[in-house]
Structure 1
Amino acid sequence: MAWLAMALCFWFYPGGPAWGKYNWLTKRAATKPSYTIPGPRGLPIVGSMNLMVHLAHHKLSAAAKSFGAKRLMAFSLGDTRVIITCNPDVAKEILNSSVFSDRPVKESAYSLMFNRAIGFAPYGVYWRTLRRIAATHLFCPKQISSTEAQRLDIASQMVSIIACRRGEFFVRDILKKASLNNMMCSVFGTNYQLGSPNTETEQLSQLVEEGYDLLGKLNWSDHLPWLAGLDIQKIRLRCSKLVPRVNKFVNKIIQEHKLQSGNTNRDFVDVLLSLNGPDRLSDNDMIAVLWEMIFRGTDTVAVLIEWILARMVLHPEIQSRVQAELDEVVGKSRPLMESDVESMVYLPAVVKEVLRMHPPGPLLSWARLAIKDTTVDGYHVPAGTTAMVNMWAITRDPDVWVDPVKFMPERFVSKDSTDVEFSVLGSDLRLSPFGSGRRSCPGKTLGLATVTFWVGTLLHEFKWVPSDENSPVDLGEVLRLSCEMANPLKVKVHPRL
């Protein structure tokens, strides 16, 4: 009865039981009531876990509006204190702060070895070493430029496969295979043909899909420690079966690279093996880093391209304008090259507008963790609090964007607009789909270059039309690790060249 009474006292506090527990036990409730962050109470003990299932970005945005807490809202996930913002200024305050330089504990991420890769490694010397390696060796302009021929070859293979399709077809499978092959070539130096079945590619695809499912789930044990030993959702069991398969797959490739001498192909494995001194990684750390590169690099590219093509089918007049720009810059007698994209204005504007309306990580995928007490937007935020940014809500806020629900690439092109030179790489938190600050996505430049070039190629080669005039494109969403189209895009194409 005493435990139940305490649970109800904690639950009664704004923000729910986790915030009530902190404030009552530290007596902040009595001393500084003006510091209370508004937010839903949820349910006793479990808090607002219901907000994090299905389309969490929609539910969290609606909750913030109902509590008048768009700038900052508090809620509880079991014993976890969480704050979330739907405001670009507060988002910048969180993401660019050294206080929020860590990741919250996520059992599936640690089980899948991501605590030894850039994504979830604790903030410190090791993480800074990984970040320096990524910036200097893996995602530097020289390395990105060296893989241009590979991206061109995969784009040509996609064109050949699509050209052979008669009638309607689903584009998702082609995009996922292309994206996976691109990452396998960049990371492992293995080059496979898209149209040819391959055991190694299929095996890696299964590993990645299983990893997506595990990492995208809301794990109750992360927020209710007394459930941890039960493993009700079988996440720990599934991780324990997946990791040995990943270790075996990646370690085999590392050992093969070690045996090769005089290899002129500089893939990510070669780069990591060539490092010396403090940058040298152990084989186990190398496996974690390479696995994360494949894992994170495959999903976002395919998801974003599918959203772009869906918008092109829904807006044929915008598709025609992109194709007119392509014809003007490239002509119809040769394929698009990456250097051509630099001369284009409207195609990058279309990519930015799709990132605005359909950010692949609407909650910026992975949250931040406060490593010490701090102040956010005037409110006290204690150490150990998880901080999230609802980028989807920011990009659809009428106080931030004109006609936010209207698909309008012209907003990034018009001379009268202040957003012509708009960067999506993290400097402006009105649209920062790859995050910002210390924990932003290290591969964002490579990912954006790949998406823009492949989309340009597909629009240059084909006119994209609905599979059936009576069944329009469905823009319904499903949120896994990324926000995907709930129903895969089905289209028809007409050759243009």
Structure 2
Amino acid sequence: MGYSSREPSWWLLALPVSLAASPLPLPSSFVALALCLLFVALLPHGGLAWILCRPPLLRGPAGLPLLGCLPAMASATPHRWLSAAARSLSALDLMPLSLGLTRVVICSSPDTAKDILCSHAFADRPVKESAYELLFHRAMGFAPYGDYWRKLRRVAASHLFSRRRMDAAAGTRRAVGEKMVAQILASMETSGVVKVKRILHLGSLNHVMEMVFGRSYDFSADGAQLAEMVREGYELLGVLNWGDHLPFLRCLDLQRVRRRCRNLVSRVNAFVGKIIEEHREKKIMAENGGGNDGDFVDALLSLEGENKLEDSDMIAVLW
């Protein structure tokens, strides 16, 4: 049986194995167990991460010493565990817990979730290492709340997602839908089997690329390569990185998250940077009587004054 590189907690197996190899004397084992139980009993609701601040008034699982609820979140179905814990503790609105040394609040109520998402209370939440390495700390989703974030919001509302731009993209959306239907028909005629998930994924990716970069990747090899980059980016964003919650593990990069992110970013910089340069050349041609694609890259390149973005920030926003 092989070991998967996606398994985040393999290194924890070393501790029980070493203990089994040289067992503690029986009295010492009881003392150690009693101390652990006492430590857990003294933890506030929510676990160790909440002990350094005012303990929460809400009920939440204490979890394990130091690790908190990290092992549960590393399981195959953490959402089910969270749902069961919230129901058992009658904490559907808000439930505090600890992921290592990180304080976390879980919300299982739609109304409470709406209040959270419509306020700035969590705007300065900690940024995951993967999000930082993938440049998303310079994009609107993870940028710290402040002047830069407000500038990105203003640019998005006025230039990227304006009603005029969305209406102008109706033809693009229709063309992408027609290509997806044609791909389904072609698959049925050749093999009788349709990989709907792949077609939907590449179709939506193609639509985004048309809007952002002004070019179509269709269902070609280049499109598949780009889809793989996007897939890896989402995977790295979603992985539970133990180093985010246990600072003493961060420098070790046991799950190779940092290394994979940096390798991916080098490819993204080359890919997006090349497109930005191509659009700069087209902009010069447009000023001399040529055409203009009118996509997101063109919109960002046209910004002036306080709204103007550096190339590195444009890559983060477009990526």
Q: Mark yes or no: TM-score above 0.5.
A: yes
Residue correspondence of structure 1 range 425-444 to structure 2 within 5 A: none
Match of 2:137 among 115, 132, 148: 115
Q: For 1:43, what is the secondary structure of its paired residue?
A: coil
Write out per-residue CA displacement over residues 460-494 of structure 1, whole angstroms, 9 at most, x where no aligned residue: xxxxxxxxxxxxxxxxxxxxxxxxxxxxxxxxxxx
State whether structure 2 residue 190 is matched by structure 1 residue 190: no
- The structural deviation recorded for 1:58 is 2.0
Q: Which has the larger radius of gyration?
A: 2
- C-alpha distance in 2 between matches for 1:213 and 1:93: 28
| Structure 1 residues 211 and 124: CA distance shift in structure 2, 3 A | same
- Give the letter for the 2:316 counterpart: A
Q: For 2:126, what is the secondary structure of its paired residue?
A: coil
Aligned to 1:283: 311
- The structural deviation recorded for 1:67 is 0.9
Aligned to 1:12: 43
- Give the letter for the 1:138 counterpart: L
Match of 2:70 among 36, 45, 49: 49
Contact 2:102–2:245, Cα closer than 8 Å, also in 1 = yes
Write out per-residue CA displacement over residues 79-120 of structure 1, whole angstroms, 9 at most, x where no aligned residue: 011111212332233222332222322000000000001111
Aligned to 2:198: 173
- C-alpha distance in 1 between matches for 2:309 and 2:87: 47
Aligned to 1:401: none
- The structural deviation recorded for 1:273 is 0.3
Aligned to 1:22: 52
Match of 2:235 among 200, 209, 213: 213
Contact 1:41–1:47, Cα closer than 8 Å, also in 2 = yes
State whether structure 2 residue 132 is matched by structure 1 residue 132: no
Contact 2:36–2:65, Cα closer than 8 Å, also in 1 = no
Match of 1:105 among 118, 127, 130: 127
- C-alpha distance in 2 between matches for 1:189 and 1:70: 44
Structure 1 stretches of 4+ moved >6 Å: 4-7
Contact 1:76–1:82, Cα closer than 8 Å, also in 2 = yes
Query: Comparing both structures, which one devotes a greater share of its residues to strand?
Result: 1
Aligned to 1:420: none
- The structural deviation recorded for 1:59 is 1.7
| Structure 1 residues 93 and 192: CA distance shift in structure 2, 3 A | closer
- C-alpha distance in 2 between matches for 1:55 and 1:39: 19
Match of 1:154 among 176, 184, 188: 176
- C-alpha distance in 2 between matches for 1:7 and 1:144: 60
State whether structure 2 residue 89 is matched by structure 1 residue 83: no
- Give the letter for the 2:202 counterpart: K
Aligned to 2:8: none
Write out per-residue CA displacement over residues 342-399 of structure 1, whole angstroms, 9 at most, x where no aligned residue: xxxxxxxxxxxxxxxxxxxxxxxxxxxxxxxxxxxxxxxxxxxxxxxxxxxxxxxxxx
TM-score normalised according to structure 2 size: 0.81
Query: Comparing both structures, which one devotes a greater share of its residues to helix?
Result: 2
Q: For 1:270, what is the secondary structure of its paired residue?
A: helix
Aligned to 1:422: none
Contact 2:203–2:218, Cα closer than 8 Å, also in 1 = no
| Structure 1 residues 265 and 36: CA distance shift in structure 2, 3 A | same
Q: CA RMSD in A?
A: 2.1
Write out per-residue CA displacement over residues 108-162 of structure 1, whole angstroms, 9 at most, x where no aligned residue: 0000000001111111000110011111111111111111111111111111121
TM-score normalised according to structure 1 size: 0.53
Write out per-residue CA displacement over residues 420-464 of structure 1, whole angstroms, 9 at most, x where no aligned residue: xxxxxxxxxxxxxxxxxxxxxxxxxxxxxxxxxxxxxxxxxxxxx
Contact 1:11–1:43, Cα closer than 8 Å, also in 2 = no
What are structure 2's unaligned runs of at least 5 residues?
Answer: 1-31
What percentage of aligned pairs have identical amino acids? 50
What are structure 1's unaligned runs of at least 5 residues?
Answer: 30-34, 292-497
- Which gives a bigger RCO, structure 1 or 2 (Cα 8 Å, sep 6+)? 1
State whether structure 2 residue 93 is matched by structure 1 residue 68: no
- Give the letter for the 1:22 counterpart: L
Contact 2:49–2:99, Cα closer than 8 Å, also in 1 = yes
